[in-house]
């Protein structure tokens, strides 16, 4: 009997892995982002298995997914690139701070939220999802300069948002904020020391181990910040950022090969995070009222965000109107940040299911926009090797 149950469980996990890897990728040909498809599959699974279903293995896989994704995001921070565009970036962050303050005021004045939940709500709708944006950049038809500005603006916004999230979630008391700040300072000092020790004791005798050690340190840092009450993503991002800073002393940590390996690792596990998040959506959040509010949020916030970035690019940096619009549109996806913050708002600040559902609808619509407006139509024509054309005289147009 136990053998039969074990076999059934193994088959269920294999089916889940197959479904989360294959089905969302197949749907991408219709310009549906894989994370949204995984999220929808999670909501479907909840309807089939019941809202009380919980699996510790799925929780672990989801944690690996979100931690590795933000570990990669930290590794992507290039200080030289940020310095090169520092003045436009600082202007962008100043505008972002002003918009967050205005959004917080609106939430407090007209919705009656306290300042902390109002600020988190503003972060949920205004913060671009850097990991998703960077992954989709190649398909958006942007030139090199436009990709550069999208990248540094998204990374800068993410760093600002993570700092604000940390302060807000630790602001229940000055003592709590002080202890958490000292813990974070200890991590900033301790993580480089850990990397240094591992680099001397293990790496010289285990070539290629940098990937495993980086994932391990990132995961431990993620659990430390989650235990502080912040979130996994803060610690994972910090570990990746520090590893990037150490690239001269330990070039293997942030080497192009390691970055690619972390990206592939995250791409395998992040579907479990979205699937698990979809399973956590209550039925009350899927009502027509939530969709209506989500459409209203999208209709107001997305054009406002595009207009703000467009004006910055057009009148501060002197970019063309079309180029400014492309950069602004590419920065609209908020998928991961909206999902994370919406979950925090629901679990810790008790927002209603209608607003929670509205935030999910907003995240989905804002994420889909650049994929339908900017993305190049995929070419399914089989490629013909150039050598074959030269040798055999193949008519490419006839293939």
Distance CA 298, CA 315 (A): 25
Using CA of residue 260, residue 265, residue 267, residue 268, what is the dihedral sign?
positive
Tens-place pLDDT, residues 157-187: 999 999 999 999 988 888 888 988 999 999 9
Q: What is the CA radius of gyration of the chain?
A: 22
Tokens representing 165 are: 């999230």
Residue 300 lies in a domain: no
Residues 6 or more apart whose CB falls under 8 angstroms from that of 280 comprise 42, 46, 343
Residue 371 lies in a domain: no
Q: Which of 370, 383, 382 is nearest to 31 (CA)?
A: 370
Using CA of residue 218, residue 32, residue 22, residue 358, what is the dihedral sign?
positive
What total number of domains does the chain contain?
A: 1
Residue 150 lies in a domain: yes
Residue 225 lies in a domain: yes
Tens-place pLDDT, residues 58-74: 888 999 999 999 999 99
Find the mean pLDDT for residues 144-151: 89
Residue 312 lies in a domain: no
pTM of the model: 0.86
Residue 243 lies in a domain: yes
Residue 146 lies in a domain: yes
Tokens representing 130 are: 């850097």
Distance CA 396, CA 33 (A): 31
Structural domain harbouring 171:
56-284
Residue 87: exposed, middle, or buried by beta-carbon count in 10 A (0-12, 13-18, 19+)? Answer: exposed
Residue 61 lies in a domain: yes
Supply the DSSP symbol for 197: H
Using 50, 70 and 90 to split pLDDT, how confident is the model at 378?
Answer: very low
DSSP 58-114: HHHHHHHHHHHHHHHHHHT--HHHHHHTHHHHHHHHHHHHHHHHHHHHHHHHHH---
Which CATH number fits the domain that encloses residue 277? Answer: 1.20.1530.20
Tokens representing 89 are: 């970036």
Distance CA 232, CA 221 (A): 8
Tens-place pLDDT, residues 33-61: 899 999 999 998 887 776 555 677 888 89
């Amino acid at each position: 009997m136990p053998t039969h149950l074990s076999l059934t469980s193994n088959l269920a996990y294999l089916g889940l892995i197959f479904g989360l890897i294959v089905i969302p990728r197949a749907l991408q040909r219709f310009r549906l982002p894989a994370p949204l498809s995984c999220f929808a599959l999670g909501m479907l699974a909840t309807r089939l298995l019941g809202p009380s279903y919980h699996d510790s293995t799925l929780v672990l896989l989801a944690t690996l997914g979100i931690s590795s994704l933000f570990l990669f995001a930290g590794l992507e921070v290039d200080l030289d690139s940020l310095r090169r565009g520092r003045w436009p970036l600082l202007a962008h962050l100043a505008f972002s701070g002003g918009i967050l303050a205005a959004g917080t005021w609106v939430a407090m004045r007209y919705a009656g939220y306290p300042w902390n939940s109002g600020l988190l709500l503003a972060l949920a709708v205004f913060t671009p999802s850097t990991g998703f944006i960077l992954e989709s950049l190649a398909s958006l038809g942007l030139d090199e300069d436009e990709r550069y500005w999208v990248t540094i603006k998204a990374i800068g916004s993410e760093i600002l948002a993570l700092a604000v999230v940390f302060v807000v979630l630790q602001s229940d008391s000055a003592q709590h904020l002080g202890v958490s700040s000292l813990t974070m300072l200890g991590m900033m000092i301790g993580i480089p020391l850990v990397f240094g020790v591992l680099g001397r004791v293990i790496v010289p005798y285990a070539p290629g181990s940098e990937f495993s050690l980086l994932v391990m340190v990132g995961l431990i840092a993620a659990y430390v910040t989650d235990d502080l009450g912040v979130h996994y993503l803060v610690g994972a991002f910090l570990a990746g950022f520090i590893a990037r800073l150490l690239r001269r002393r330990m070039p293997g940590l942030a080497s192009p090969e390691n970055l690619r390996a972390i990206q592939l690792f995250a791409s395998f596990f992040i579907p479990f995070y979205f699937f698990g998040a979809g399973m956590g959506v209550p039925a009350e959040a899927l009502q027509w009222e939530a969709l209506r509010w989500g459409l209203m949020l999208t209709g107001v916030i997305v054009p406002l965000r595009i207009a703000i970035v467009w004006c910055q690019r057009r009148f501060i940096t002197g970019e063309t109107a079309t180029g400014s619009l492309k950069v602004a549109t590419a920065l609209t996806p908020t998928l991961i940040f909206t999902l994370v913050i919406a979950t925090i708002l629901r679990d810790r600040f008790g927002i209603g299911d209608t607003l929670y559902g509205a935030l999910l609808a907003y995240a989905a619509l804002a994420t889909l926009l650049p994929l339908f407006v900017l993305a190049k139509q995929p070419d399914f024509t089989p490629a013909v090797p150039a050598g074959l054309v030269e040798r055999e005289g193949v008519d490419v147009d006839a293939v």
